[in-house]
Structure 1
Amino acid sequence: MSGAVLEVESLTRKFGAVVANDGIGLRVHAGEVVGLLGHNGAGKTTLVSQVVGLLRPHGGSIAVAGADAVADPATARRCVALQPQSQAPLDGLTPKTAIEIAGRLRGMSRADARSAARALADELDIGEWFNRQATPGGGLSGGVRRLTAFAMAAVAPVPLIVLDEPTNDVDAGRRRRLWRTVRRLADDGAGVLLVTHNVAEAERVVDSLVVLDHGRVVAAGSPSHLRGSGAEDLQLEISLHSDHADPSESLPEAPIAITRRVRSGRRMLLTLAARDAEAAVAWATALRSSDQIEGYALAPATLEDAYLAATGVASTNTAGGAADV
């Protein structure tokens, strides 16, 4: 296993004529957070459903902590904790009771489950609602329910934790707390598979990323590798007028070397070397002064343009593109 708590090889799953997962391969090692990125419908949740034994693959293999999840799903399931994309059924329970029950089901003693539930409530800042009962349509907000479901997955130590869009409905302050807890879980020795479509937030916590598009892995690697850029590369974001052409394409001789160009709506994301920053700002300022663009911003290169390029949104993907696998 070489430290891998999840190994997926050539995984294929179909729904009729639709191939939801097409030969997917990925690994999660103990102590690392692997982000699974992709747009809605890319095949992320289908993959998760097979990892936890809710769906049977049509091809390929899955091993969880050394157990064959296809041949022996019950054993594999004991090694993984899941926060599903849907809300957990909490009506009639308090967060305290729900988290403690999850711990007890994982083999924790009553005292340990109680202590771990309290610690997570403090860590996630949901103590105000810890003893409040969820009722149909009320009692607890969607964000508190989501954080409770996260705590239910995180309360007991297991080799693999799978989080499917864990920050849905969670406010900004508690999202930061949740991400810190995700990082802590990995630092404590768990492997974490983080399923999300939020590129910016994923970059803050993950060790590596796998990008899905139409059921296939289209890019994989560390955030810096996927950016396909040096540590000092920059991104020039140009805001276009709705009725204007893209000046970075219409000008025959741009004053800077562009290593990646991605069009997203009325935004152009241009990756360039830090040494060209002064020329880039002068060029963009001139474009804005002549009303060819609405505005611009220059910042360090991020994953967003690499992700858009990998999933086929890029208008041009030149040197420095994300690695295909």
Structure 2
Amino acid sequence: MNDDVLRVDGLTRRFGDVVANDDVSLRVRPGAVVGLLGHNGAGKTTFVSQMVGLLRPDAGSVRLGGVDAVAEPATARRYVALQPQSQAPIDGLTPRSAIEMSGRIRGLSPSAARAAAESLADELDIGEWLDRRALPESRGLSGGIRRLTAFAMAVAAPTPLVILDEPTNDIDAARRRLLWQAVRRRGDAGAGVLLVTHNVAEAERIVDDLVVLHRGKVVAAGSPARLRGTTGSDLRLDLQFAPDAVDLEAADGGPLPFPTHRTVRSGRRVLLTVPTDAAAAAVTWAATLREREQIDGYALGPATLEDAYLALTSSGVDEPEPARTGTEAAHV
């Protein structure tokens, strides 16, 4: 039995000669939070637009709750709530009225919609602004409060699938934490969540699986631990090179005096993933480079998903760890 709330197979969308989505496959099960991760311009929002019938794919299939979303977009949309990347058009409304209206459209009774607005205001800490009217030209409510209101509108009434496109844009750090917790609660309560983001560090904290999109293609998929591609004890040596010494061997005159699992270059920044037992040698070497003023600074810490993400989406990579690609991505 297929219980996926979202299943996408071989999705392709072109704009003239530009292939925005190239044979993309993924699935979201009930209760799972799946992150769709990629740089700006990777094809994420184009992908989302096809999930809700705003764009028609050139090839491939989309099924929402078992319904063919390409053939029956109106029926399929009943299964999904979307928070788009753009701000919700709520000028003239208060957050309370916008959330209640969204809940009523989704079938809530007036009392249930009122209760949902109150509950979400508490959950997201926006009660102070609940009855403040949004005005044109971004007056009345800040961008962050508008963004949190849009999230509340999307989740006011339960749906099998929630799609969130860059939901934390403009939101302050404290309320971002509240929003991530709210997203995780929806997954734990049984909804499938597709979280579209380019924020690697924050996504890693709440997702069950990740799909990495790069130039329209799925380049890897799996759990954060799998994509990290390292043991739990691996460390990252982060080097900030001086402008005239951006090559590791040129900086030290020879090969590295310690083993590495992965090397990623991004501008003047170099990230080395090293085993724990090489930490002392790595720090001694980096300190020597710093004394010679061949690097501006360095830091040693736990290996992160960001390292793997940069390795997957950057051309300046040596010996990247293997990751699932192609048809394997369909089984996330």
TM-score of the aligned structures, taking structure 2 as reference length: 0.95
CA distance in 2, matches of 1:50, 1:249: 48
Count of matched residue positions in the alignment of Structure 1 and Structure 2: 324
The one-letter code matched in structure 1 to 2:268 is R
Amino acid at match of 1:191: G
Find the counterpart in structure 2 of residue 253 from structure 1.
Answer: 255
Deviations 1:84-107 (A, max 9, x none): 000000011000000011111111
Tell me the equivalent position of 1:65: 65
How far off is 1:48 after superposition? Answer: 0.3
Q: What displacement does 1:243 show?
A: 2.0
Counterpart secondary structure, 1:258: coil
- Are the equivalent residues in 2 in contact too, given 1:261–1:314 (CA < 8 A)? no
- Report if the CA contact (8 A) 2:263-2:320 is conserved: no
1:255-270 equivalence runs, <5 A: 255-270=257-272
- Secondary structure class of the residue paired with 2:55: coil
Query: For 2:250 and 2:65, how far apart are their aligned partners in 1?
Result: 50
SS at match of 2:153: helix
Deviation at residue 249 of structure 1 after TM alignment: 6.4
* Residue of structure 1 equivalent to 2:29: 29
Q: Does 2:172 correspond to 1:171?
A: yes
Q: Secondary structure at the match of 1:193?
A: strand
Match of 1:8 in 2: 8
- Whether 1:81 aligns to 2:91 is no
Q: For residue 187 of structure 2, give the secondary structure of its aligned residue in structure 1.
A: helix
Match of 2:146 in 1: 145
What's the offset of the Cα at 1:324?
Answer: 3.0
**Equivalent residue for 1:93?**
93
Please give the alpha-carbon distance, in whole angstroms, between the structure 1 residues aligned to 2:25 and 2:325: 13
The 1-side partners of 2:194 and 2:34 are apart by 5
Aligned partner of 2:297 in structure 1 is: 295
Q: Deviations over 1:118-157 (max 9, x none)?
A: 1111111110100001110211111100000000011111
> Which residue identity does 2:101 align to in structure 1?
I
| 1:232-259 Cα distance to aligned partner (Å, 9 max, x none) | 1111101111221322565433121111
Contact 1:100 1:113 in 2 (8 A): yes
Secondary structure of the residue aligned to 1:96 is helix
Letter in 2 for 1:78: R
Cα separation, 2, equivalents of 1:314 and 1:261: 11
CA offset at residue 111 of structure 1?
0.9
What is the TM-score of this pair, normalised by structure 1?
Answer: 0.97
Alpha carbons 1:227, 1:321 under 8 Å: kept:
no
In the alignment, structure 1 residue 109 sits paired with structure 2 residue 109? yes
Report what 1:46 is aligned to.
46
Residue pair 2:87, 2:146 contacting (<8 A) in 1 also = yes
CA deviation vs aligned residue, 1:166-208 (integer Å, no higher than 9, x gap): 0011011100000000000100100000001111111111111
Q: CA contact under 8 A between 2:246 and 2:268: conserved in structure 1?
A: no
The amino acid of 1:93's aligned partner reads L
Residue in 1 aligned with 2:231? 230
The 1:123–1:248 alpha-carbon spacing in structure 2 relative to 1, beyond 3 Å, is farther
Q: C-alpha displacement at 1:3, in angstroms?
A: 3.0
- Name the aligned partner's letter for residue 41 of structure 1: G
2:146 is the alignment partner of 1:154: no
Instruction: Give aligned-pair identity as a percent.
Output: 63
Query: What amino acid is aligned across from residue 278 of structure 2 in structure 1?
Result: D
CA RMSD, 1 decimal = 1.3
* 1:191 pairs with 2:192: yes
Mapped contact 1:259–1:271 kept (Cα < 8 A): yes
1:319 Cα deviation after fit: 5.0
TM-superposed CA distance for 1:321, in Å, is 4.2
SS in 2 for 1:12: strand
Equivalent in the alignment of 2:217: 216
Equivalent-residue separation in structure 2 for 1:288 and 1:84 (angstroms): 45
The 8 Å contact of residues 103 and 156 in structure 2, kept in 1 or not, is answered as yes
Q: CA deviation at 1:309?
A: 1.4
Aligned counterpart, 2:244: 243
Residues in 2 aligned to 1:260 and 1:305: alpha-carbon distance in whole angstroms:
9
Q: Supply the distance in 2 between the matched residues of 1:68 and 1:309 (Cα, whole angstroms).
A: 35
CA distance in 2, matches of 1:98, 1:320: 46
Q: Distance in 1 between matches of 2:56 and 2:296?
A: 51
Equivalent position amino acid for 1:29 in 2? R
Give 1:29 shift. 0.9
